[in-house]
Structure 1
Amino acid sequence: MAGTAPTDRPSWLPLVLIVSLFFLWGGANNLNDVLIAQFKKAFVLSDFRAGLVQSAFYLGYFLVAMPAGMYMRRFGYKSAVVFGLMLYGVGALLFWPAAESAAYGLFLFALFVIASGLAFLETSANPFVTLLGPRETATRRLNLAQAFNPLGSIAGILIGQHFIFSGIDHSSAQLAAMSAVERTAYYASETRAVQWPYLVIGVAVLCWAVLILLTRFPKATASHVASASAGGGGVLRHLLGDRRFVGALFAQFFYVGAQVGVWSYTIRYVQATMPGTSSREAANFLTAGLVCFMAGRFVGTALMKYLAPVRLLMAFAAVNIALTLFAVFQPGSPGAYALVACSFFMSVMYPTVFALGVEGRGDDERKLGSALLVMTIIGGAVLTAMMGAVSDMSSIARAMTVPACCFAVVLLFAWQRRRHPIEGNA
Structure 2
Amino acid sequence: MNNPQHLPIHPVHSSNFGALALLTSLFFIWGFITCLNDILIPHLKAVFTLNYAQAMLIQSCFFAAYFLVSVPSGYLVDKIGYKRGIVTGLAIAGTGCLLFYPAAALRLYPLFLSAVFVLAVGITLLQVAANPYMTLLGKPETASSRLTLTQAFNSLGTTLAPYFGAFFILATSVKTPDEMKLLSIDALSKYQALEATAVQHPYLLLAAMLFAVSGIFAFVKLPVVKGQEVHGEVLEDQYPGKPKPSAWHYSRLVLGAIGIFVYVGAEVSIGSFLVSFLSDPAITGLTPSIAAKYVSFYWGGAMVGRFIGAVVMQKVQPGKVLTFNAVTAGLLVVTTIFSTGSVAMSTILAVGFFNSIMFPTIFALALKGLGKHTGQGSGILCSAIVGGAILPVIQGLFADRFGLHLAFIIPVFCYAYIAYFGWRDWAFHSYPHA
Scaled by the length of structure 2, the TM-score of the pair is 0.92
How far, CA to CA, are the matches of 1:293 and 1:312 in structure 2? Answer: 14
**Residue matched to 1:343:** 352
Residue pair 2:16, 2:137 contacting (<8 A) in 1 also = no
**Residue matched to 2:54:** 49
Residue 82 in structure 1 maps to residue 90 in structure 2: no
SS in 2 for 1:217: coil
SS in 2 for 1:277: coil
Match of 2:233 among 226, 240, 256: 226
In the alignment, structure 2 segments of 5+ residues that lack a partner are 1-8, 237-241
**Residue matched to 1:331:** 340
Match of 2:363 among 354, 361, 364: 354
Q: For residue 300 of structure 1, what is the amino acid of its counterpart? A: G
The verdict on how the C-alpha distance between 1:177 and 1:249 changes in structure 2, with shifts beyond 3 A counting, is same
Match of 2:329 among 320, 328, 338: 320
Q: For residue 396 of structure 1, what is the amino acid of its counterpart? A: L
The verdict on how the C-alpha distance between 1:369 and 1:235 changes in structure 2, with shifts beyond 3 A counting, is farther
Q: For residue 250 of structure 2, what is the amino acid of its counterpart? A: D
Residue pair 1:285, 1:336 contacting (<8 A) in 2 also = no
1:102-121 equivalence runs, <5 A: 102-121=107-126
- CA shift, 1:138, in A, is 1.0
Higher mean alpha-carbon deviation, 401-410 vs 271-280, is at 271-280
* Amino-acid identity (%): 33
- CA shift, 1:207, in A, is 1.0
- CA shift, 1:275, in A, is 5.9
How far, CA to CA, are the matches of 1:113 and 1:27 in structure 2? Answer: 16
Residue pair 2:283, 2:345 contacting (<8 A) in 1 also = no
The CA deviation string for residues 298-346 of structure 1, in whole angstroms up to 9 with x for no partner, is 1111111221110000000000111111111113321121111000000
- CA shift, 1:424, in A, is 8.7
Residue pair 1:167, 1:278 contacting (<8 A) in 2 also = no
**Residue matched to 2:39:** 34
**Residue matched to 1:262:** 270
- CA shift, 1:19, in A, is 1.0
**Residue matched to 2:421:** 413
How far, CA to CA, are the matches of 2:83 and 2:43 in structure 1? Answer: 35
The verdict on how the C-alpha distance between 1:237 and 1:249 changes in structure 2, with shifts beyond 3 A counting, is farther
Residue pair 2:97, 2:204 contacting (<8 A) in 1 also = yes
Q: For residue 162 of structure 1, what is the amino acid of its counterpart? A: F
Q: For residue 294 of structure 1, what is the amino acid of its counterpart? A: M
SS in 2 for 1:265: helix
Give the CA RMSD over aligned residues: 2.2
Q: For residue 248 of structure 2, what is the amino acid of its counterpart? A: L
In the alignment, structure 1 segments of 5+ residues that lack a partner are none
Residue pair 1:136, 1:424 contacting (<8 A) in 2 also = no
The verdict on how the C-alpha distance between 1:15 and 1:303 changes in structure 2, with shifts beyond 3 A counting, is closer
- CA shift, 1:360, in A, is 1.8
Residue 209 in structure 1 maps to residue 217 in structure 2: no
- CA shift, 1:242, in A, is 2.4
- CA shift, 1:254, in A, is 0.5
Residue pair 2:265, 2:389 contacting (<8 A) in 1 also = yes
- CA shift, 1:218, in A, is 2.0
- CA shift, 1:415, in A, is 1.6
How far, CA to CA, are the matches of 1:333 and 1:284 in structure 2? Answer: 16
**Residue matched to 1:373:** 381
SS in 2 for 1:151: helix
- CA shift, 1:176, in A, is 2.3
**Residue matched to 2:167:** 162
**Residue matched to 2:313:** 304
Residue pair 2:20, 2:134 contacting (<8 A) in 1 also = no
1:120-159 equivalence runs, <5 A: 120-159=125-164
Higher mean alpha-carbon deviation, 393-402 vs 284-293, is at 284-293
Q: For residue 81 of structure 1, what is the amino acid of its counterpart? A: I
Aligned length: 417
Residue pair 1:167, 1:279 contacting (<8 A) in 2 also = no
How far, CA to CA, are the matches of 2:284 and 2:153 in structure 1? Answer: 34
**Residue matched to 1:71:** 76
How far, CA to CA, are the matches of 1:401 and 1:313 in structure 2? Answer: 20
**Residue matched to 2:3:** none
**Residue matched to 1:292:** 301
Q: For residue 226 of structure 1, what is the amino acid of its counterpart? A: E
How far, CA to CA, are the matches of 1:253 and 1:395 in structure 2? Answer: 24
- CA shift, 1:237, in A, is 5.2
The verdict on how the C-alpha distance between 1:349 and 1:30 changes in structure 2, with shifts beyond 3 A counting, is same
How far, CA to CA, are the matches of 1:212 and 1:228 in structure 2? Answer: 32
Higher mean alpha-carbon deviation, 404-413 vs 234-243, is at 234-243
Q: For residue 347 of structure 1, what is the amino acid of its counterpart? A: S
Residue pair 1:309, 1:425 contacting (<8 A) in 2 also = no
The verdict on how the C-alpha distance between 1:425 and 1:139 changes in structure 2, with shifts beyond 3 A counting, is farther
Q: For residue 383 of structure 2, what is the amino acid of its counterpart? A: M
Higher mean alpha-carbon deviation, 344-353 vs 128-137, is at 128-137
